[in-house]
Amino acid sequence: MTNAPAVDTRPIVAITMGDASGIGPEIIMKALARPDVYAICRPLVVGDARRLREADALTKTGLTVAALQEPAGATYEIGTVDCIDLGLIPAGHPFGQLSTISGEGAYRYIERATRLVEAGEADAICTAPLSKEALHAAGHKYPGHTELLAHLTGTPEVSMMLVAPKLRVIHVTTHIGLMDAIRKIEPGLVERVIARGHATLVKAGIAEPRIGVCGINPHAGENGLFGQGEEEEKIIPAVQACQAKGWSVTGPLPADTLFFRAARGDFDLVVAMYHDQGHGPVKVMGLEAGVNITIGLPVIRTSVDHGTAFDIAGKGIADEGSLIEALRQAVDLAPKRSK
């Protein structure tokens, strides 16, 4: 009687190349030169094999790039980068410059990765950075990855969670102006965002997450002294609804002290009301190791928490730390394959 071959339980993570004119190709090659990445997952790049080879020359990683049409041909062995090759980027395409070619590529990589996960050929998506301006120039009018993935998966509402050392933040609103954000915030939306964050942390192994909710105004309105009653109208009913479920939800609290308390360990998650309220503290705490997670999609998606860095693209000096952390988060959140 022969033993059946061992099943590889490492999740397959589809890594999208992002904007080919930015640092995405370089940080991918640097990350995939590390054996510890292969110890936790099977990385499958969705992008352009020729561009990755150019990035290899820049970073001097000495890796082989295997150009594939389908995942079945991947070997997932250290030393070889398996790439679903869409062949969209011409040879010698300039780094560090806004390009509609790169914008179109960024869209197509995400589209293909999404279909791979939906077909069961990958378990999660990890995205290198794209340029919103290039994406728009190519005719894809989405504010960023989060909204694009929501469209591709037919998901009506998602949330952005940022993770940095000692801090997790989920956002009620993201890529809209401040006045529009305040108008958009309402109790039902706040409650749904808290619920998505709570469910994500429970899935990640935190049985009873402690959640702190930011106010909108300075000092969370200070009992009506600041603002026009936004905390009472828009936030408190949602907090009370979540508390009625038995969850540990506190707020609204002044954002300046809440982030300090969360970094100290008093809370497992902060609920930010708008983009800069949440992004600023996270990027101060750990830009290089920050991770962006889209919550509420039918597919797992994590991302670096930095941009395309056109100013250093093509120099081979970009830091891959955030991408490695994003891969770790994707592995933690991905459905577990049977042994």
Q: Kindly state the average pLDDT of the residues 69-80.
A: 96
Cis-peptide into 43, omega within 30 deg: no
What is the C-alpha separation between 192 and 201, in angstroms, rounded?
A: 14
What's the pTM?
0.84
Q: What are 251's two structure tokens?
A: 């707020």
Q: Name the DSSP letter for residue 65.
A: E
pLDDT at position 1 is 46
Write the DSSP string, 284-317: HHHTTT-EEEEES-SS-EEEESS---TTTTTSS-
The model's pLDDT over 235-270, given as tens digits with 9 standing for 90+, comes to 999 999 999 999 999 999 999 999 999 999 999 999
- Full strand arrangement of the beta sheet holding 210-214: 64-68, 80-85, 42-47, 12-16, 124-127, 301-304, 291-295, 159-164, 167-171, 269-272, 210-214, 248-253
Cα atoms found within 13 Å of the Cα of residue 211, Cβ hemisphere only: 31
CB 47 within 8 A of CB 85: yes
Tell me the C-alpha distance between 233 and 255, whole Å.
18
CA distance 117 to 300: 9
Domains 1-155+297-339 and 157-295 equal at CATH topology level: yes
Residue 305: per-residue pLDDT: 80
Give pLDDT tens digits for 94-151.
999 999 999 999 999 999 999 999 999 999 999 999 999 999 999 999 888 888 999 9
Q: What are phi and psi of 170, to 5 degrees?
A: -115, 145
Q: What is the per-residue pLDDT for 6?
A: 72
Residue spans of the domains in the chain: they are 1-155+297-339, 157-295
pLDDT band for position 18 (50/70/90)? Answer: very high
Query: Own/partner pairs for 135-144, CB < 8 Å, 24+ apart?
Result: 135/103, 135/106, 135/107, 136/103, 137/98, 137/100, 137/103, 138/100, 138/101, 138/103, 138/104, 138/106, 138/107, 139/104, 140/103, 140/104, 140/107, 143/174, 143/175, 143/176, 144/174, 144/175
Query: If you average pLDDT over every residue of the chain, what do you get?
Result: 93
CATH superfamily to which 1-155+297-339 belongs: Isopropylmalate Dehydrogenase (3.40.718.10)
What is the fold, at CATH topology level, of the domain defined by 157-295?
Isopropylmalate Dehydrogenase (3.40.718)
